[in-house]
Amino acid sequence: MFELTGKQAVVTGAASGIGLAIAQLFALQGANVFVIDLNADRSNAAASAIKCMTAGTVSGLACDVSSEKSVQETFAKIAGSIDILVNCAGIAHVGNLQSTCLEDFERLFAVNVRGTYLCMRAAIPAMLQAGRGSILNLASVAATAGLSDRFAYSMTKGAVLSMTLSVAKDYIAQGIRCNCISPARVHTPFVDGFVAKTYPGHEAEMMQRLAESQPIGRMGTPDEIATLALYLCSDASSFVTGVDYPIDGGFFNLR
């Protein structure tokens, strides 16, 4: 039901965390996967690791998603159709309106918003030519919920959600679907690094607090997000477009 054999999938931010889990699962399901990340060594290492798990074609490409030139050059290297695009590249920031300086605001906008826009814009011509395609953007519960000290991050994820709905509306007649996923907290290497840097000596306490912020009592895993991504990008969800899927451990409805 969730087979991707013969499909080409592009996953940004795919060298670690959620993006890596998505790239791995898509490759295992038969897709030819392009692992895109900012650092060439990291993207190639991730692609090599995935190749050890599957007989599918996996390629690593370096790309600065915030740069139009870099995105254009990277997507030009992808021959043939682009059946699936997953925009997973993103960065975070802690701070409220007053503590968020313009530099941090623009840095998050450049990666999370401009990067999603540029990659969708680069992929859409191939999808239009083929008359089909599935775009999946990584939003967040921060897009629609008030989270403390997440001003700039919430702004960017709200924009990702709005872009998703707009693209879904504009290209539905051309056979292109566009959806987004809104996870609550997910346990990734980024979370480990953030906690270690921000709360040295109190890592275990902070990890417990993060886990308890979801009613289910734990953070999500990248593999759980990848499973939902597989459904939304496979033909099994062919009747689904313009949807923001929460995957949040009860964050919205059970608090």
Integer Cα distance of 152 and 197 in angstroms: 20
Please confirm, yes or no, whether 153 is among the known catalytic residues: yes
Quick one: which H or E segment has residue 132?
none
Tokens of 238: 């062919």
Q: Which residues contact 111 (CB under 8 A, 6 or more apart)?
A: 65, 66, 89, 90, 91
Tokens of 113: 């918003």
Q: Pairing relation of β-strands 32-37 and 8-12?
A: parallel
Tokens of 86: 């997953």
Q: Which residues contact 184 (CB under 8 A, 6 or more apart)?
A: 141, 213, 214, 219, 220, 246, 247, 248, 249, 251
Of residues 117, 153, 171, 245, which has the active-site annotation? 153
Closest CA to 112 of 134, 143, 133: 143
Integer Cα distance of 18 and 24 in angstroms: 10
- Which sequence positions are flagged as catalytic? 153
